[in-house]
Structures are given as C-alpha cells and as structure tokens.
Structure 1
Amino acid sequence: MTQSLATIFLVDDDASVLRGLGRLLRTVGYATKTFSSPAEFLAQLPRDTPGCAVLDLRMPGLNGLELQQTMESRDCHLPVIFISGHGDVPASVRAMKAGAVDFLLKPFDEQQLLGAISQALLKDAASRASRAEAAELHARHAVLTPREREVCTLVAQGLTNKEVAQQLGTTEKTIKVHRARVIQKLGVDSIAELVRFVDRLGQN
C-alpha cells in the first residue's frame, strides 16, 4: 500500500499532541485526520478507508482499549497503535493481546512511530486482501444449489462418485452431472483445485 492511499487517524485529547503528530505525518506524506475525542472519531468512523488508527490510551469517556473494542464491534478493522504518557504495563499487555500493532510511551522517538505505522499499514493491506479473497470465495460458492454444495463438500473430502451417490441417496450418473456443474460454476479445472477451494473457503 502506498502512503498516498493510506489515512492515519489520530485520536488524542491533547491538542498539542494532535498538532505535532499531524504535522510529522503530513511531512512524510501521509494523509491524516485528527480527532480530539473517541466520540468525535466514532461519529465519523471509517470502515473502508485504508490506513490505521493511533489512539491515546487514557482519554475522557472511552479509553483507548474501549475505543478499540467499539471499533471492532462496528466492523471497523483498522490496525491500532496505542500511545500513552503512562508506563502502564497491564494496559500494554491487554492492548497487544487485543491485536494492537504497538504500544508507544510518550515521549517516543519519531522513527518508532513511523516504524509502527509502516507495520500497521502492511497489516491493513494483508487484512484487506484476505477479506477480499473471502468475499470472492463465498460469492462463487453462493451460486451453487443446495445439492451442488453437498456434492462439493463430499467430493472435496475424497469420496468417489459412487460413495457420494450412496450417501445422498441418488445415482452415480446424477452425481457426475452435479460434480461437472460444481467444477464449472466454481471456475476450477480439477478435483485438486476443488479441494483447495473448499479448504480456503473453510479458512475464511
């Protein structure tokens, strides 16, 4: 992901921190949006914008960890970097367990923040690619009829046409027709590809 495509969302109740970080990030080419409170950020919550969120840990109202949880519950999957003026080890542990990219103590080195943002953007790009693949797999699978889905699952488990027919209470000839349609609709060229498709579908 190039910097020009990413937006860094800064949430901190300290106006001087917002100004300083915003200036730094714009200087190195990042688009930035700043928010002085969690409520302000949630009112404009981005869902499809590439980027990451830099959140202060301690703020009035929701704290950073609670804001992160609220983002997830509202289907916002931006990677999160926490910043804090307090050496709160338990909070940093909770943050990392909740999936935060990094936890930086103020005052932190500019390069620490830029490095964490680079990591976060790589994570965001990978997550977006994974979600796009999952959506594409499910869309292809959705065109199958209920019976074709049953056949697809059983064939992917390694059952022969005869075994599938016995399990579904139909003829081997009918299963051959269903299997051919499954392969055609899913756009795969072989049973091996069909097995890989079903594996990836299950992982997503």
Structure 2
Amino acid sequence: MRTLPRVRRGHSLRRKSPPDTLLQRERLTRSSRMTLKPWKKIYESTVYKNPYWTYKRDAFELPSGKHGEYHYVHTNGSSMVVPIMGDGTVLVINQYRYLMGRESVEFPCGSVKDGSTHEETARKELAEETGYSAGSLIKVGEFNPYNGVTTEMCQVFIARDLGFVGGTPDETEELELLRLTPAEIDAQIRSVAIWDGMTIAAWSIVKAKL
C-alpha cells in the first residue's frame, strides 16, 4: 500500500518558485539592455536606378570616429500574397530563378513601383501570377528580407474569396500554378523543396492566422 508523505501542519507540498523566475529574468533583461549607438550618415549617393530599386552608396561614421562606405539597395518595398482557396488549399507558383539557376516554389510577390501602394501591388501580382482576384485582402505582417543589403520592407497579405479572372505574367516569367495544403507547405519547407526565404518568412506570419 502506497503511503503519503507526512506534512507538518502549516506547510504545503507545493514547491515555492525561486525568486529568480524566468519571467523576472526576462524583465531584467529587457530593462537592462544596452542602448546601441547609431552610425552617422555623412552623405548618400545614387549609383544606379531603375523602376524597381535604387543602388546607393553612403559614407558613414562609426561611434568610434572611423569612416567607411556602405553599398545597399533601396526600394519602395514589396508585397507578398498568400492566396487561400475555399477548400483551405493555398496557391503557390513555381518559376525559374536566374541567379540560382533552378526552379523555386513561392507565393506571388512583386516590387512596389513609384506611385503605387503595397495593396495595389498585392492585387496586381495576385492577378498577374495566379489569374485570381481577391474579394478579401488583409495585411497580416511585414518583414525585411535581407537587412544588411536592402532597406526593403515586404508587406504580407492573406487573399480570400478568390475568383478567376485570367493571368497576364511578365514576359520574363514562366509560371506553373500549384495548389498545396498547409501541411504540404510545411513538409516542403522542411525538405527544402521550398527554399525561397521570403516565402518561408511570409508563411511563418500567415500560418498562425489560418
């Protein structure tokens, strides 16, 4: 027969939390984080510009007083769309990526041109690359795809209530339209069948909202 431990009156079997709990450590970490010193921009110059992005060169000064040059790409941003069909499957496109020399499965995405907005770009890219329009288009997050190289912020949209209107991709785009379940997207990311960083980042934002 199993016997219970003897407990002195006025004492509890419940273990008391140590004063240095995880929450307290997190609060301490947040309150004691050091303030990082910003770099000072001395001047900015444009090396090359096209309708999608601008290649810039800055001269900067470090907090130590040392000087240097920074080369980077400035853009108006980009929009990536995750289109959800009525049955819960997700539209993705397979296309050839010249720099990598291989095919890539991605969500529809495009750069924001001068005079356009992120939402307008999202609707345009969705129609061009998938042939569908969205009755509902909701922004769910944003991210920078490569913050050491570009100022670009990519806004992520979920598209629902889709209706087919016919696509007109750019002449440089040969696209294969695919439908995947969320589980299949997860599996293809794990197996590196989906390797595009922007698609993986967008999926990490969208997945929790499905």
TM-score (ref. length: structure 2): 0.19
Of Structure 1 and Structure 2, the greater helix share is in 1
Structure number with the higher strand fraction is 2
